């Protein structure tokens, strides 16, 4: 049997793997440690039964349905074309002030809502790709890291590609 790697952190799975959904993601195979960050789901192995009810009457983990949502939610990785710089909010605010524009002026120029500009400048919201491109053009700035992949190869031997563990930071209590 081929060794399995956790789809969240990339570590080699020792023992039994679990199938979980983390923050509305597609079900993924993870190690015991990463499984506590999500909700365990049961994956159907046979043909799908149609009973007219959501969940199909199959047993699932408490409080959550094993049936995936009708439409997958968009997440930040779907919306940006690369890695956005960490200080995007400061860059946008500084460039806007250098041009002598108010948030309202910028919003009018971009044909976006002023509230959106405020949230982006406060760092509460990462701009979607289309808004990011408008901001870059209007303020003559770059918001995407140019070097592509990060220098620190914190990956794990034997893994291929980027894992969820490479791009998230987990808050410890």
Locate the domains of the chain by residue range.
Answer: 1-46+57-70, 74-145
pLDDT for residue 15: 83
Report, as ranges of residue numbers, the positions in the chain whose pLDDT lies below 50.
48-61, 68-74, 76, 79-80, 148-157, 159
Q: Which of 163, 150, 167 is nearest to 11 (CA)?
A: 163
pLDDT for residue 53: 43
What fold is seen in the domain 74-145? 434 Repressor (Amino-terminal Domain) (1.10.260)
| Confidence (pTM) | 0.41
pLDDT for residue 67: 52
pLDDT for residue 114: 93
pLDDT for residue 60: 44
pLDDT for residue 98: 94
């Amino acid at each position: 049997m081929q060794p399995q790697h956790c789809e969240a952190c990339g570590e080699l799975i020792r023992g039994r793997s679990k199938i979980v959904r983390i923050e509305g993601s597609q079900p993924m195979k993870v190690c015991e440690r990463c499984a506590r960050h999500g909700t365990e789901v049961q994956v159907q192995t046979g043909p799908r039964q149609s009973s007219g009810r959501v969940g199909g009457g199959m047993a699932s983990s408490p409080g959550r349905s094993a049936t995936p949502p009708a439409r997958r939610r968009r997440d930040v990785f779907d919306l940006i074309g690369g890695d956005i710089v960490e200080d995007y909010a400061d860059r946008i605010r500084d460039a806007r002030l250098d041009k002598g524009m108010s948030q309202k002026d910028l919003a009018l120029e971009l044909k976006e809502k002023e509230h959106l500009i405020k949230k982006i400048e406060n760092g509460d919201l990462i701009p979607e790709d289309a808004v990011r491109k408008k901001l870059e053009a209007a303020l003559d700035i770059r918001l995407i890291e140019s070097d592509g992949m990060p220098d620190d190869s914190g990956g794990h031997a034997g893994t291929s590609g980027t894992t969820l563990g490479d791009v998230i930071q987990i808050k410890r209590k």
